[in-house]
Structure 1
Amino acid sequence: MAERSDSDSRNLLRRLRDVLAEPGNGQDRLDRITSLIASSMGTEVCSIYLFRDPETLELCATEGLRPESVHQTRMRLGEGLVGRVARLGNPINTHDAPAEPGFRYMPETGEEIYSSFLGVPIQRVGEKLGVLVVQSKEARDYKEDDVYGLEVVAMVLAEMTELGAFVGDGEGIGHSHRFPVMFRGSSGQEGACEGRVWLHEPRVVVTNPVGDDPDHERDRLQSAVEVLQAQVNDMISGSVDMDMDHRQVLETYRMLANSRGWMRRMTEDIALGLSAEAAVEKEQSQNRARLEQAGDPYLRERLSDLDDLSNRLLRLLTGQGANTGAELPDNPVLVAKNIGPAELLDYGRSLKGVVLEEGSVGSHAAVVARALAIPLVIHAKRITTEALNGDPILVDGDQGVVHLRPEDTVANAFRDKIAMQAEAQKRYADLRDLPAEDRNGTRISLVMNAGLLADLPSLQNSGAEGVGLFRTELQFLTRSRVPRRDELAQLYKRVMDAAQGKPVKFRTLDIGSDKVLPYMKPQDEPNPAMGWRAIRVGLDKPGVLRMQLQALIRAANGRPLEVMFPFIACPSEFHAGRDALLRQRDREAALGRPVPECLKIGAMLETPSLGFAPDSFYQTCDFISIGGNDLKQFFFAADRENERVRRRYDTLDVSFLTFLERIIVRCQATNTVLSFCGEDAGRPVEALTFAALGLRTLSMRPASIGPIKHLIRRADLAELRQIVQRARNEGQQSVRNAVTTYLAHL
C-alpha cells in the first residue's frame, strides 16, 4: 500500500464529513462510510463494530464481508481480535490474523480469505464506542502511516457517534446518550429525589472534528496552549504559602502543559485533517488508554493530570464548560466525578440530590450532603461519561441506585415512593411537639446532627430537642486558609442563637482520615482511618485547638457550653483536651471576658478501648457520645469505606449489642450522660433496639426524627428488651429478625 500523504488524509476526512451531512438514516451513513474508507485506503474490507451494550460488540456495517452478517455477528469484550482492540484501547496490526492469539473465526462473515488485519478503537476520552477494522487478502503489515491515518478516521467517527450521527432504524445502532441506564452505587446519604442532570464539569462536545484549514487550526491550538500555560504559571505564582508537595504537583502540571511531545502529536493530527479540538481529544483518548494499562502507580496518577489539562484546553478552544452562563435546570441533581465541600456548598439547597463516581461515606461531600439533607449516591461508575446536562434522573439514596433517562414504568414507581415518603412526613409533623415517649412513659431524647448554620431551622421544624453533634470541621474544610478566631466565634454564636436555648454539643475539629484540609500537608498513611486524625491532630497542633476552644468560649458569651472531643482512644487524650479547654476558660476569665455559666466537657467513644477505660474516665466525663459509625468499623475490623466488607457485619449482632450494654451500665454507674450518634441512630430497627437496651438519647439526621418518634410512641420498650434478650438466649447471632417482627405488629 502506498504511503498516505497529509492531503490524502484531509481529503478522506472531508469526504467523511460530507457523507455525514447527507440525508439518510444511521445505517445509510455507516454503509457509505465503510465503502469510502475501503476505497480510500485500498483495502478489500472495512467494517465498523459498535457496542450494543458495555460487554457486547456488534458488526453494524461492512464493505467486503457478507452483508447478511451485519447486526448478526456479535462478540464479547476481549473476544477475538476485534474484542481485544476494544478491551485494550490499542490498535492491532498483523499480516496473519488467523495466527494471532485469541483469533476468533466467524464463518458467517466470510472473512477467512483475508489475511491482514488492522483494527483501531473508536473511543472518546475513556468511553469505548467500538472498533474500526480494515482487512486485505494480501498478507502484509500495514504501515505506521496507515495505522495513524485510521486512528484519525476513528476519532472523527467517535465524535460523530457522540453527536448521534448513526442513530437510525438499524438494530443495535445508536449512541449511548439516549437509552435508559441504571447505576448501582453506594448510599452516601439517604433520601430519594427526581430531577434533571447538572454536570459539575460538563463534557465538551466537539461539533467540528474535521478542520478545513490546517494553518488556522494550528494557530488556534497554539493560542489556546499559551493561555493554558499562563494559567498554570499563575497557579504556581499564587502558591507561595503552599507546602512543597502541592508545589511539586503544580510543577508537574507545568511540565505537562509545556510538553513538546504533546504539542507535536496534536499538530501532526491537525496536519492529517483534524480540527484543534479533535486533535486534543484524540491525544487525550490515546493517553488515557495507555496509562490505564500502566502498572506503575505514578504513571496512573498522571492520568488525572493529563485529563485535567486536556479538559482545560478543550474549554479554551470551544468556550464550553465552566462560566458559560448556562443556568441550572429545575430540580437540579449534581453529577460529578468528585467534588469538594466548598464547591458543593456554593450550589446550596438548590440541589435536589448529588451523584458521584468516586467519594466515600465519610467524605467532605457526604458530610455536606447530610448537612443539606439531600440524597447522595457515591461510586456510580462512569455516570459522568453517560449523562448529559438536562437528562432526567432518579436518585435513590436509600438503596444507592440511580436511574438515568428512566423508562415510564420505573419513573412512575419511583414517584409513588417519593409521594409515600412525603405523605409519611406530613403525618410525622403532627408529632413535632410531642415527646418521644413509649406506652409505659419511658422517654427518649431525640436530637439532631448538624454541621452548617443552614441546618438549624430543622431544629424547630423536626421536633429535635437539641443538637447532639455539631460538626465544626466544615468551616475549616470549605476555606483555602485557616479560619480566624473571630470568624469562628461569630459562626458559633449564630449557631447558639439559632438554637434558641436548646443544647448544642460542639465537636472539636475532626479532620484527618478522608477529611484533609486543603491547606494542610496530606499524610501518606497506609490506613488513614486509624492514623493521624481528630484529637490526635488537635493535640499535635495545639495552636489550632486553642484557637477553636477560645472561639467557642467567646461565642457562648456566658451561656452554657457543651464541647466534646472526637476519637478518644485512651483517657489521657481526653484529659489533655479537657485541660486545654479549662485553661482557655480560665484565661478568658482572667482577661475579664464572660465565661460559660455551665461548661460540660465530653468525649466521643469511637474505639473499643474506651469500653475498658478505668472508672475515673467515666467519672470525669460530663457526657459520652457513642460514635457508632467509627465504633462499628473498629469493633468488626471492617473498613466502612470498603464496599466488600462494610455491610458484612450487622449493628444488631449480639456481640456488638453486648459491648454497647457494657458502656450503658458503666455510664449509669457513674451517672454519666450517654447518647448514640451515627447513621444507625436514625434507622427504625436499630434505634428501637438501642432504646430498649437503655440508651436514652439518640442523635440523628433531622428527617429521621419523625419516623423514630412515631415508632417509640407505639412501642413498649420493656417488652422489646425481653424480646431482644430471648433472641440472645436462643443463640441467635443477630436480634434483627426478632425486632423486625415485633415492629411489624405495632
Structure 2
Amino acid sequence: MPERSESESRRLLKRLRDTLAAPGGGQARLDSITHHIADSMRSQVCSIYLFRDPETLELCATEGLRREAVHQTRLRLGEGLVGRVARTGRPINTANAPAQPGFRYMPETGEEVFPSFLGVPIQRVGEKLGVLVVQSRDAREYSEDEVYGLEVVAMVLAEMAELGAFLGNEAQPSTHRFPAVFRGATGQEGAAEGQVWLHEPRVVITNPVGDDPDKELARLTEAVAMLRQTVDQMVATADVSGGEGEAVLEAYRMFANSRSWLRRMEEDIDRGLSAEAAVEKEQSQTRARLESAADPYLRDRLHDLDDLSNRLLRILTGQGSDTGSAMPANPILVARNIGPAELLDYGRRLRGVVLEEGSVGSHAAIVARALAIPLVVHAARITTEALNGDPILVDGDTGVVHLRPEDSVAAAFRDKIAMQAEAQKLYAGLRTLPATALCGTSVKLFMNAGLMADLPSLDGSGAEGVGLFRTELQFLTRTRVPRRSELARMYAHVMEHAHGKPVVFRTLDIGSDKVLPYMKRIDEPNPAMGWRAIRVGLDKRGVLQMQLQALIRAAAGRALSVMFPFIADAEEFAQARAMLAEQMEREAAMGHAVPTELRVGAMLETPSLAFAAPSFFRSCDFVSIGGNDLKQFFYAADRENERVRRRYDTLSTPFLNLIQMIVDRCTAEGVPVSFCGEDAGRPAEAAVFAALGLRQLSMRPASIGPVKSLIRRIDLSALRQVLDEERARGATCLRPAVTAFLAQARSPA
C-alpha cells in the first residue's frame, strides 16, 4: 500500500487516541471523531450510529449531515444500508446508495446529495456496537485501501467504547456500571446471590493505537511464537490417539500456524493498530464471517478461533486466566460455555452458574444439578457485560439474572432466598418420614445421581434410594475411555455409599447432546432422534460389554439393578439383556463373584414402547418412564428449544392418558413402574402421577422435600376422582382443576 496512506492512517488513529484522552463528555468526543475521520478520508460526511438497544440503531454523531437529526434518526436492525451492515457484520461500499436493495431515505438528515456510501461495522468479538459511515458527493466506490482503513478505525472506536469513551451520551448506555437484566432459560432451579467470577476473564485493551509499528510487529511475532510453542506442547501431551480428537487438535495447530492469519494482523499494525488491537480486529471480523456460514463445521471453528485469539491476547497483555485476584467467598461463575470436568473442578465453592450458551440437557446442567447449584443458560452477552466482582443475582426458577441489581431488587431477592431457606427447614423435618398421603397411599421417592458428589444427598434428602445413576458422566469428564477397573471401583464406591439402599445404574446414554470428547462425532440432522443411547451400545458392543463387566464386578456379591436407556423396540431390550446374561456367565466362569440378585429394566422414553406387546413388559424386572424424552417425542417439541418446549403442559389430558396407559399395562403384567425426570420433582405433577397409580418417583435431591410435603398433605384418591371427572367432561388440560384442588388442601405447592 502507498506510504502516504500508511502515514495518514497512523496520524488519524493518533488523533482519535488524543480525543480519547482529552477532557469532555461523550458527545463532544463523538463529534470530534466524526470530524477527524471525514477530514482524513476527504469525505464530506462521516456518521456514527450506535445501538440504543439490541434492535435499534441511533445516529449519535455526524459531520456533514444535518445536526438536528442527531439522536432523532433511528433504524431497526437490518433496516436500510446502515441496518444491513449492523446485521451482517460486513461492509457495504457503493457509488449509488439509493439504488441498493433495502435503501431507506431519511429526509431529516439531508443525505440525498451524497450518493457514495461506505459503511463498516463497529464490533468487538461478536458484540455489535454500531456502524461507522462515510459518504461523498462524488458518485464513486471507495477503494479497497480506504475500506480497509475505515475498518481499522472502527476497531479503535470499538475499543474506545469498551473503555467508556462515550459515557454520558444519551444513546450510549454506561457499560459495566448500571444494572442489567438477562433473560435466559432454567438449567437448574434455585436462587443465589453472589459476585461474578468469570471463567475466562475478559482481556481489556487499553492501547488500541500503536506508536511504533516495528515495535508492535516484534511484540506480535514473539507472542505468536510463544502461542505456537504452547499449542505444540498441548498437542504432544494430549491424551488422545487417533480418531476425531487427534484430528481436531491438529486442525487447531494448523490454525495457530496459519500464515494468512498472521499476515492480516501485520497489515493492521502497519495501519496503526497496536498488536493487541490487531489480534482482536482479526478475531472480530473472522467471527462475523464464520457466524453466518451455512457449514456447521465452519461455525464450530469459532471455538478454535476464540480460544487461539484469547490465548494470544493474554500473552500480549499479561492478563492471564489467573489474574491474581482471589475468588470471592460467594462466587457466581459466568462463562460463554463450560465443560463438565471444568465445572467439577470448581465444585461446591460456586453459588451458581450463568452461561451464554449451554442447554437444559447439557453436561454442565447435569453437573450443576449434582452440585445442587442454580444454573441459567442462554443468557446472551453476559460475558461481555459482566466484570469480576460485580454483584449478581441468579434466579434459576425463572431463568433471570440481575447484574449489578438495584437495592430494591436485591432486597426482594433476599426475601425470596430467606423464604426458600425456611421451607428447607420444614422439609428437613420430614426427612425420616414416609411420603404417605392422607388416604394411606405411600409413594417411594428416589433421587437421581451421576457423581460421587451426589451421594451425600442420599441421606440428607430423605431419598429411599437412587432411582437413576447416570453412568455417562464418568465418560464425559475424561479425555479417554475409562478403564474397566476404574469404572468397577467407582461403581463399588457408589454402592458402598448408598449404605444398603437400592441404586439403579443406567448404562451409557450418549449421543444427542452428550458427545464424548474422544469419540467421532456423527453429523446428524436430528441427533435427539438419531444414533444415541442403546443404539450406540448395541453397535459399539465392546464399550457396553466393558461397562456391564464393571457393574458385575462392582456388585461383588451384592444386589445389582441395571437399566437400559432409550429402548424403542422390544428387540433392543432383548439383545441388551442377552448381552448382560453373557457377561454374567463370563464373569462366573472366570471365578468372579456375581450379584446375589440381578434386576434388569428398561427406560421407556419413546411412545412406541408404550404400545409394545405384553411379552415385552413381562420380560422386564421393572420399567422407568423417562419423562423428559417421552414428553418431547410425544409432542414433537424439542426440549432444548425455548420457543416450543413450554407450549405443552405435562398436565394436559393427552399426555396424562399416555402415562395412565403405561401404568395400567405395567400393573396388568405385574411389572413395577416408576417415573423419572424433571416433572417428577415438581410437586403438583408428582401428586398427579401418584394419583394415576405411580408408586415410585425419581428426582433431583432438592425436590424430595417439597414433593413429600405435598403428598403428606393431600388425599390421592380424592385427587384421582378430580382427574377422572375432568377427563370425562372433555377437559384438554387438567392443571386448572389440579391447582384448585391443591389450593383447597392448603398445599404449599
- Give the TM-score, by structure 2 length: 0.94
Amino acid of the structure 2 residue aligned with 1:78: G
- CA spacing shift, 1:65–1:615, aligned 2, 3 Å: closer
- CA spacing shift, 1:509–1:300, aligned 2, 3 Å: closer
**1:494-534 deviation digits (Å, cap 9, x = unpaired):** 21222112111111211122212111111222322222222
**1:387-409 deviation digits (Å, cap 9, x = unpaired):** 33333322222222223333333
Hey, what does 2:607 align to over in structure 1? 608
- CA spacing shift, 1:167–1:500, aligned 2, 3 Å: same
Where 1:183 maps in the other structure, the secondary structure is strand
Query: 2:311, 2:398 → 1: CA distance?
Result: 35
- CA spacing shift, 1:318–1:557, aligned 2, 3 Å: same
Is the CA contact (8 Å cut-off) linking 1:196 and 1:389 kept in structure 2? yes
Hey, what does 2:60 align to over in structure 1? 60
Query: 1:196, 1:311 → 2: CA distance?
Result: 23
Give the deviation of 1:292 after TM superposition. Answer: 3.2
Hey, what does 1:20 align to over in structure 2? 20
Asked if residue 165 in structure 1 is aligned to residue 160 in structure 2, the reply is no
Query: 2:125, 2:349 → 1: CA distance?
Result: 30
Give the deviation of 1:267 after TM superposition. Answer: 1.0
Hey, what does 1:358 align to over in structure 2? 357
**1:449-482 deviation digits (Å, cap 9, x = unpaired):** 1111111111111111111111111111111111
Please list, as runs of the form range in 1=range in 2, the aligned pairs for 1:518-529 lying within 5 A after superposition: 518-529=517-528
Hey, what does 1:77 align to over in structure 2? 77
Where 2:519 maps in the other structure, the secondary structure is coil
Give the deviation of 1:296 after TM superposition. Answer: 4.6
Hey, what does 1:37 align to over in structure 2? 37
Please list, as runs of the form range in 1=range in 2, the aligned pairs for 1:374-393 lying within 5 A after superposition: 374-393=373-392
Percent identity over the alignment is 73
Asked if residue 142 in structure 1 is aligned to residue 148 in structure 2, the reply is no
Query: 1:577, 1:79 → 2: CA distance?
Result: 57
143-152 vs 584-593, which moves further: 584-593
Is the CA contact (8 Å cut-off) linking 1:243 and 1:521 kept in structure 2? no
Is the CA contact (8 Å cut-off) linking 1:3 and 1:146 kept in structure 2? no
687-696 vs 193-202, which moves further: 193-202
Amino acid of the structure 2 residue aligned with 1:121: P
Where 1:558 maps in the other structure, the secondary structure is coil
Where 1:714 maps in the other structure, the secondary structure is coil
**1:642-666 deviation digits (Å, cap 9, x = unpaired):** 3333223222222322222222223
Asked if residue 329 in structure 1 is aligned to residue 328 in structure 2, the reply is yes
Amino acid of the structure 1 residue aligned with 2:628: N
Please list, as runs of the form range in 1=range in 2, the aligned pairs for 1:627-706 lying within 5 A after superposition: 627-706=626-705
482-491 vs 195-204, which moves further: 195-204
Is the CA contact (8 Å cut-off) linking 1:332 and 1:351 kept in structure 2? yes
Please list, as runs of the form range in 1=range in 2, the aligned pairs for 1:409-558 lying within 5 A after superposition: 409-558=408-557
Alignment gaps of 5+ in structure 2: none
Give the deviation of 1:98 after TM superposition. Answer: 4.4
Query: 2:6, 2:21 → 1: CA distance?
Result: 23
- CA spacing shift, 1:490–1:312, aligned 2, 3 Å: same
Where 1:644 maps in the other structure, the secondary structure is helix
Please list, as runs of the form range in 1=range in 2, the aligned pairs for 1:272-421 lying within 5 A after superposition: 272-421=271-420
**1:662-689 deviation digits (Å, cap 9, x = unpaired):** 2222322333222111111111121111
Query: 2:38, 2:535 → 1: CA distance?
Result: 67
Query: 2:296, 2:520 → 1: CA distance?
Result: 20
- CA spacing shift, 1:516–1:142, aligned 2, 3 Å: closer
261-270 vs 546-555, which moves further: 546-555
669-678 vs 151-160, which moves further: 669-678
Asked if residue 594 in structure 1 is aligned to residue 593 in structure 2, the reply is yes
Hey, what does 1:51 align to over in structure 2? 51
Amino acid of the structure 1 residue aligned with 2:11: N
Query: 1:528, 1:139 → 2: CA distance?
Result: 52
587-596 vs 674-683, which moves further: 587-596
Give the deviation of 1:727 after TM superposition. Answer: 0.4
Hey, what does 1:225 align to over in structure 2? 224
- Give the TM-score, by structure 1 length: 0.94
Hey, what does 1:210 align to over in structure 2? 209
**1:669-721 deviation digits (Å, cap 9, x = unpaired):** 33322211111111112111110111111111111111111111111111111
Where 1:515 maps in the other structure, the secondary structure is coil
Is the CA contact (8 Å cut-off) linking 1:331 and 1:352 kept in structure 2? yes
Hey, what does 2:264 align to over in structure 1? 265
**1:19-66 deviation digits (Å, cap 9, x = unpaired):** 211222222322332333333333343332221111222222233334
- CA spacing shift, 1:488–1:293, aligned 2, 3 Å: closer
Query: 2:585, 2:115 → 1: CA distance?
Result: 88
Hey, what does 2:93 align to over in structure 1? 93
592-601 vs 369-378, which moves further: 592-601
Amino acid of the structure 2 residue aligned with 1:347: Y
Hey, what does 2:566 align to over in structure 1? 567
Query: 1:139, 1:539 → 2: CA distance?
Result: 68
Hey, what does 2:723 align to over in structure 1? 724
Query: 1:8, 1:327 → 2: CA distance?
Result: 45
159-168 vs 408-417, which moves further: 408-417
- CA spacing shift, 1:289–1:529, aligned 2, 3 Å: closer
Aligned residues: 744
Query: 1:546, 1:134 → 2: CA distance?
Result: 67
Query: 1:347, 1:523 → 2: CA distance?
Result: 31
Query: 1:107, 1:659 → 2: CA distance?
Result: 62
- CA spacing shift, 1:284–1:116, aligned 2, 3 Å: same
Amino acid of the structure 2 residue aligned with 1:504: V
Query: 1:265, 1:607 → 2: CA distance?
Result: 52
Amino acid of the structure 2 residue aligned with 1:90: R
538-547 vs 334-343, which moves further: 538-547
- CA spacing shift, 1:583–1:286, aligned 2, 3 Å: closer
Query: 2:176, 2:502 → 1: CA distance?
Result: 50
Is the CA contact (8 Å cut-off) linking 1:96 and 1:116 kept in structure 2? yes
Give the deviation of 1:345 after TM superposition. Answer: 0.9
Amino acid of the structure 2 residue aligned with 1:433: T
Give the deviation of 1:732 after TM superposition. Answer: 0.8
Hey, what does 1:711 align to over in structure 2? 710
Where 1:645 maps in the other structure, the secondary structure is helix
Alignment gaps of 5+ in structure 1: none
